[in-house]
Chain A
Amino acid sequence: MRVTSNMSADTSLYNIQQGRAKLDRLQELTSSGTAVNRPSDDPINTRLLLDIVDKVKSTDQYSSNITKSDIWQQFTSTALTGMSDTLQQAKELAGTLVDGITDTALRAGVVSQLQALKQQMIDMGNTQTGDQYIFGGANNATPPFTNSPVQLPPPAAQNPDFAFYTGDESNINVEIGNNAAPMTMNIPGNQILTADTATSQNYGSTNILQAFDDMIYAVQANDVTGIRASSQALGEGAKQIFNAITDVGSRMTRLDSFTKMNENTRNTLMTVYSNTQTVDYAKLGVELSQQQVAFEASLSATAKLSQLSLLDYL
């Protein structure tokens, strides 16, 4: 085939261009450190990478939900433990009263102690995390428990205008894992402290606050039967709180296992992601120096060949 000088020039130029393009690509890979810098670099892996990113974001969101939920459970657990301790004190106090008190001053002392303990129960029922009342159900912007007026004729049912609990019984459900059933984060306060008015009596059916009031009234009237009855009710109440604590414990266990699962999922996903996306610097280094040599060779060859001409010899 006949070869003209223009053809040689064209070929040299074309090959230099190709060499430059390859060098450019290698430089981009090296300086960005990522194998896929735009969808057209690798359309199939792009889909995979974007999918992974979506899943990782999902996992992170679940982790965040779990963390907040965990805080909630811990506050709940603390409050319930406090209630349990208070009830213990109340029971001990009741134990000393089984045979009645004749001394009026002593009775007044006991009554004020009982009132203080009852107020403690109510205060713990109004525990907050952030600005949410954890025992309020859906009405968690206002304190769910209020104390009854000092002189409350028993039973509280005879005084229909007053309700200890002004929250509601709805569950706050949150998502903690992909395709996992949402977890109920809260315990409605009425199921704990005023369980006979609750629709679902998951832990017991004792109205603890009412039991306190009955006890106070019975002590004031020195009604031994009443005292004994309220004492028993308080005992049932303690069991009720204990059941609630167990439930919170099991929730925290579930949160724990989901935390581990989310972490594992995230690690696996990130491993796949970096396997696809991170460049192998050693391999790139070798390719870069190979390509550099090839490029230099083509430049040098072009320079040498373009200097040759018949005109130098005529």
Chain B
Amino acid sequence: MGLSTAMEIGKNGLNIYRVAQEVTGENIANVNTPGYSRQRVILESAPPTTANGFPLGTGVRIATVERYYDGLLQQQLTNAQTTQGYDTTKSTVLQQIEPTFNEVAQDGLGAAISGYFGAWQDLTLNPAGSAERQTVLSRAQILTDNFHSVSTALNDSISIQNDTLVPLTNDINATLKNIAQLNSQIRTTELVSGNANEIRDQRDQLVRDLSQQIGITYTENSDGTTDIKYADGGEALVTGSAAGTFSLDKTTDPNKFAVQLTPAGGTVAATVAPVTGQLGATVALRDTIIPGYLQQVNDLATTITSQINTQHKLGSDLTGAGGIDFFDGTATDAATFKLNPLLTNTNQIAASSNALLTGDNSNALKLAQMQNLKLMSGNTSTFNSYFDSLVSKVGLDVSSSKNTEAQDIAFTRQLTTLRESNSGVSLDEELTNLIKYQRSYQASAKLITTATEMMDTVINMIR
């Protein structure tokens, strides 16, 4: 009532605009914070009174400090991030494997196979020649070395994927715990007063980070907490302030950890089969993709072993004795592929098919001709074309995963741009607001000064 009401309104204005400046200041300071959503003050008039005989408002007040947030975009972003996490991991690992199969740029297993059969060809021209016989053994050794190197590279990759599961699950567990903590903070804060905007932003960022590693579905509860469920099985990952944990079963198979999940609020770890996100990609690479390539290399090694051995044993060597196994018959895959340890002398190479004619070359000829026989893939392709198909397949897998990764990145980028457009801080805007609120602050201060002068006038009147 009276002048003091005017002063009250002025003081109110000062307070409110100071707070508005603070919010603007908050936005400006956080312009580069990842995941930050800009906030704004929602101003409304204070409730009116009828002190003057008619209703008149009593100034301004802050209804709420609101953040710009699009729930749908967040949903889309989480899904896009999961796909991107899967494809990026797959693409990176496949590109690391590709050099092993890069037959276009350097001589590898394919050249070794050609070289080995070439040695048999040379032997047909001089079956008793010691240099030619030694070459057959040397080329066989080169073939062995190549098989070993390819096999080692693939096996190493598989065990690296296995080992990667440890830091990955630790990371996921830390994120889940943080989300659960933030959940309880949000709930407490919002019970007491208003919005916990910054904490919500942090939680949204964590949810997006988590979605890169595993596929998730989430729901917002009315008390402000977010419940997160695992997309590959439906188990609860975060319920309120309780978080689940991922663990690894390292004892059943030390080379192939099994991923297990203890749901939020539960106590028993159950095995899960990750399919999405980085976790899903790592498991798929370890269990399906890389072993697929390895299997083909192993098939090549075992078929070469058995076919060569069968034909070699039909022949006779330089001493007239029957041919023994050329390659070690106990080998089961490319890693154990090697020359027969009992084949120590070049005399033991069975080039002849007649025990009495040690200088005959017909067995060597048959062995050389084996390069052109269709002995792989159900008798539809030769050794060389089988390997060439494998190289081509690896190339196709790598190139298509590169393309998918590029598409995912473009899509995620588009969504991120939309989110930034909606929730990002624009410095131009904030600076304009700064000026605006400063002027309003000045005006409110002027109001108080004027009201003070009016008070002085009244007081001077009495004197």
Interface residues contributed by chain A, number (CB under 8 Å): 57
Task: Identify B98's interface contact among A40, A172, A174, CB under 8 A.
Answer: A40
A-chain residues with CB within 8 Å of residue B425 when the two chains form the complex: 4, 6
Assess the A40–B359 pair: CB atoms within 8 A: no
B421 an interface residue at 8 Å Cβ cutoff?
yes
The contact string, 1 if C-beta is below 8 Å from chain B, for chain A 51-80, is: 101100110010011001100000000000
Task: Identify B426's interface contact among A3, A43, A54, A65, CB under 8 A.
Answer: A3
The segment from A136-144, A192-200, A245-253 that touches chain B is A136-144
- Residue from B101, B104, B435 with most neighbouring chain A CB atoms (10 Å): B104
B250 an interface residue at 8 Å Cβ cutoff?
no
Q: State the Cβ distance, B437 to closest chain A Cβ, in Å.
A: 14
Task: Identify B398's interface contact among A14, A40, A50, A309, CB under 8 A.
Answer: A40
Q: A51 — nearest CB in chain B belongs to which residue?
A: B388
A-chain residues with CB within 8 Å of residue B98 when the two chains form the complex: 38-40
B127 an interface residue at 8 Å Cβ cutoff?
yes
Near A by CB (< 8 A), chain B positions 348-399 give: 352, 354, 357-362, 365, 368-369, 371-372, 384-385, 388-389, 391-396, 398-399
Measured CA separation A20–B101 after assembly (Å): 27
Near A by CB (< 8 A), chain B positions 42-101 give: 95, 98-99, 101
B-chain residues with CB within 8 Å of residue A44 when the two chains form the complex: 392
A185 an interface residue at 8 Å Cβ cutoff?
yes
Q: State the Cβ distance, A144 to closest chain B Cβ, in Å.
A: 11
With A49-B104, A65-B121, A170-B360 known as contacts, the answer to whether A40 contacts B391 (CB < 8 A) is no
With A50-B391, A138-B359, A170-B360 known as contacts, the answer to whether A57 contacts B114 (CB < 8 A) is yes
Assess the B359–A140 pair: CB atoms within 8 A: yes
With A3-B421, A7-B417, A132-B129 known as contacts, the answer to whether A50 contacts B110 (CB < 8 A) is yes
Measured CA separation A310–B434 after assembly (Å): 12
Assess the B424–A7 pair: CB atoms within 8 A: yes
With A43-B392, A51-B388 known as contacts, the answer to whether A36 contacts B104 (CB < 8 A) is yes
B102 an interface residue at 8 Å Cβ cutoff?
yes
A173 an interface residue at 8 Å Cβ cutoff?
yes
Measured CA separation A47–B385 after assembly (Å): 9
Near A by CB (< 8 A), chain B positions 126-168 give: 126-129
Task: Identify B369's interface contact among A1, A64, A175, A185, CB under 8 A.
Answer: A175
Q: B384 — nearest CB in chain A belongs to which residue?
A: A54
With A57-B118, A314-B431 known as contacts, the answer to whether A185 contacts B125 (CB < 8 A) is yes
With A3-B421, A7-B424, A311-B431 known as contacts, the answer to whether A130 contacts B126 (CB < 8 A) is yes
Q: Chain B interface mostly helix, strand, loop or mixed?
A: helix
Task: Identify A138's interface contact among B105, B352, B368, CB under 8 A.
Answer: B352
Assess the A50–B103 pair: CB atoms within 8 A: yes
B-chain residues with CB within 8 Å of residue A168 when the two chains form the complex: 357
A46 an interface residue at 8 Å Cβ cutoff?
yes
B451 an interface residue at 8 Å Cβ cutoff?
no
B-chain residues with CB within 8 Å of residue A51 when the two chains form the complex: 385, 388
A103 an interface residue at 8 Å Cβ cutoff?
no
Q: State the Cβ distance, B276 to closest chain A Cβ, in Å.
A: 24
A41 an interface residue at 8 Å Cβ cutoff?
yes
B420 an interface residue at 8 Å Cβ cutoff?
yes
B295 an interface residue at 8 Å Cβ cutoff?
no
Q: State the Cβ distance, A31 to closest chain B Cβ, in Å.
A: 13
Assess the B426–A4 pair: CB atoms within 8 A: yes
B-chain residues with CB within 8 Å of residue A4 when the two chains form the complex: 420-421, 424-427
Measured CA separation A36–B105 after assembly (Å): 8
Assess the B402–A40 pair: CB atoms within 8 A: yes
- Residue from A7, A44, A49, A178 with most neighbouring chain B CB atoms (10 Å): A7
Q: State the Cβ distance, A24 to closest chain B Cβ, in Å.
A: 14
A-chain residues with CB within 8 Å of residue B358 when the two chains form the complex: 138-139
B-chain residues with CB within 8 Å of residue A310 when the two chains form the complex: 427-428, 431-432
A-chain residues with CB within 8 Å of residue B31 when the two chains form the complex: 5-6
With A65-B125, A174-B124 known as contacts, the answer to whether A2 contacts B422 (CB < 8 A) is yes
A182 an interface residue at 8 Å Cβ cutoff?
yes
A131 an interface residue at 8 Å Cβ cutoff?
yes
Near A by CB (< 8 A), chain B positions 10-63 give: 31-32
Q: State the Cβ distance, A248 to closest chain B Cβ, in Å.
A: 17
Assess the B385–A64 pair: CB atoms within 8 A: no
Measured CA separation A44–B400 after assembly (Å): 12
B413 an interface residue at 8 Å Cβ cutoff?
yes
Q: State the Cβ distance, B346 to closest chain A Cβ, in Å.
A: 14
With A5-B427, A54-B110, A132-B128 known as contacts, the answer to whether A61 contacts B121 (CB < 8 A) is yes
With A40-B98, A64-B122, A131-B129 known as contacts, the answer to whether A14 contacts B385 (CB < 8 A) is no
A161 an interface residue at 8 Å Cβ cutoff?
no
Assess the B399–A40 pair: CB atoms within 8 A: yes
Q: State the Cβ distance, A5 to closest chain B Cβ, in Å.
A: 5
The contact string, 1 if C-beta is below 8 Å from chain B, for chain A 192-236, is: 000000000000000000000000000000000000000000000
Measured CA separation A14–B417 after assembly (Å): 12
Task: Identify A175's interface contact among B32, B114, B368, CB under 8 A.
Answer: B368
Measured CA separation A47–B381 after assembly (Å): 14
B-chain residues with CB within 8 Å of residue A37 when the two chains form the complex: 104-105
B-chain residues with CB within 8 Å of residue A140 when the two chains form the complex: 128, 359
Assess the B392–A46 pair: CB atoms within 8 A: yes
Measured CA separation A205–B396 after assembly (Å): 65
Additional pairs, 7, CB under 8 Å, beyond known A40-B398, A137-B359, A140-B359 = A7-B420, A37-B105, A39-B398, A46-B104, A46-B395, A54-B385, A131-B129
Q: 5 smallest A-B Cβ distances: which pairs?
A: A39-B395, A40-B398, A43-B395, A138-B359, A138-B357
